[in-house]
Amino acid sequence: MKKKAIFLVIIFIFTIALGRYTYSNTNQLSNTEKVEDFNYMYNTIKNGYPYLDVNNRRNNIGWLENKDKYIKRIENTKSDQEFIEAMSSILSDLNNRHTEIIDNKKRYELFKRAYSNNNLYDFLNNNKVVDRYNSIKPKIEISKETFSKKELILKDAIKDKVGYIYLPSMASKNGSIEKDLDMIGDYINTLGNHKALIIDIRENLGGSDRYWQGIASKLIKDDIRVNGYRIYRNDSEIIKKYTDAKNIKLQPIKKLPINVKNNAPQETLEKFSDFENTLYDLKSNPNLKFKGNIYLIVDEKVYSSSEAFAIFCKETKFATLIGQTTGGDGGVIDPVLFNLKNSGLIVRMSSCMYLNKDGICDEEFKTIPDFKIEDCKRTSDFKDDNCIKKVLDIENIV
**Residue 141's pLDDT band (boundaries 50, 70, 90)?**
low
Q: Between 336 and 118, where is the model more confident? A: 336
Cα gap 298→310, rounded to integer Å: 8
pLDDT at 304 over 80: yes
Same domain, residue pair 282 and 206: yes
Question: Is 18 a residue whose pLDDT tops 80?
Answer: no
Residue that terminates a domain, selected from 63, 89, 124: 124
How far apart, in whole angstroms, are the C-alpha atoms of residue 230 and residue 250?
9
More reliable by pLDDT, 5 or 135: 135
Can you tell me the mean pLDDT for 275-289? 92
CA 56 to chain centre: 20
Round to whole Å and give the CA distance between 306 and 299: 11
Verify that 53 and 194 share a domain, yes or no: no
The answer to whether residue 262 is domain-embedded is no
Which amino acid, one-letter code, is at 354? Y
Q: Is residue 218 part of a domain?
A: yes
Q: Is residue 269 part of a domain?
A: no
- The answer to whether 155 and 199 have CB atoms below 8 angstroms apart is no
pTM for this structure?
0.87
Q: Kindly report, residue by residue over 19-33, the tens digit of the pLDDT.
A: 333 334 458 999 999
Assess whether pLDDT exceeds 80 at residue 67: yes
Q: At 174, is the pLDDT very low, low, confident or very high (cuts 50, 70, 90)?
A: confident
* Domain assignment of residue 83, yes or no: yes
- Indicate the residue among 124, 159, 175 that finishes a domain: 124
For residues 8 and 194, the model is more confident at: 194
Q: Cα–Cα distance between 270 and 324 in angstroms, integer?
A: 33
Residues 178 and 318 grouped into a single domain: yes
Overall number of domains in the chain: 2
Say if residue 289 is in the same domain as residue 202.
yes
The helix-helix angle for 80-92 and 67-75 (nearest 10°) equals 160
The answer to whether position 257 is within a domain reads: no
Q: Is the pLDDT of residue 146 over 60?
A: no
Best CA proximity match to 330, nearest among 374, 298, 373 = 298
102 and 154 housed in the same domain? no
One domain for residues 194 and 320 = yes
**Whether residues 47 and 158 fall in one domain:** no
Nearest to 276 by CA among 315, 309, 250, 238: 250
Same domain as 219, residue 73: no
Under the banding of pLDDT at 50, 70 and 90, the label for residue 99 is very high
Same-domain pairing of 111 and 153? no
Q: Is residue 308 part of a domain?
A: yes
Verify that 155 and 102 share a domain, yes or no.
no
* Residue 120 belongs to a domain: yes
Q: Quote the CA–CA distance of 55 and 97 in Å, as a whole number.
A: 12
Query: Average model confidence (pLDDT) for the chain?
Result: 90
The torsion angles phi and psi of 125, rounded to 5 degrees, stand at: -105, 10
Residue 240 CB-density burial (10 A; 0-12 exposed, 13-18 middle, 19+ buried): middle
The CATH number covering residue 203 comes to 3.90.226.10
Q: Is residue 247 part of a domain?
A: no
- What pLDDT digit, counting tens, does each position of 312-365 carry? 999 999 999 999 999 999 999 999 999 999 999 999 999 999 999 999 999 999
β-sheet bridge partners, residue 361: 355
- 389, 187 contact by CB (below 8 A): no
| CA gyration radius, the chain | 25
What residue spans of the chain are helical by DSSP H? 2-26, 31-48, 52-59, 67-75, 80-92, 105-114, 127-135, 177-188, 209-217, 237-245, 258-263, 268-271, 305-316, 362-365, 386-394
- Domain span at 311: 147-228+278-328+366-394
89 and 182 both lie in a single domain: no
* Same-domain pairing of 295 and 376: yes
The CA distances from residue 318 to 216, 218, 220, 258, in Å, are 8, 12, 8, 27
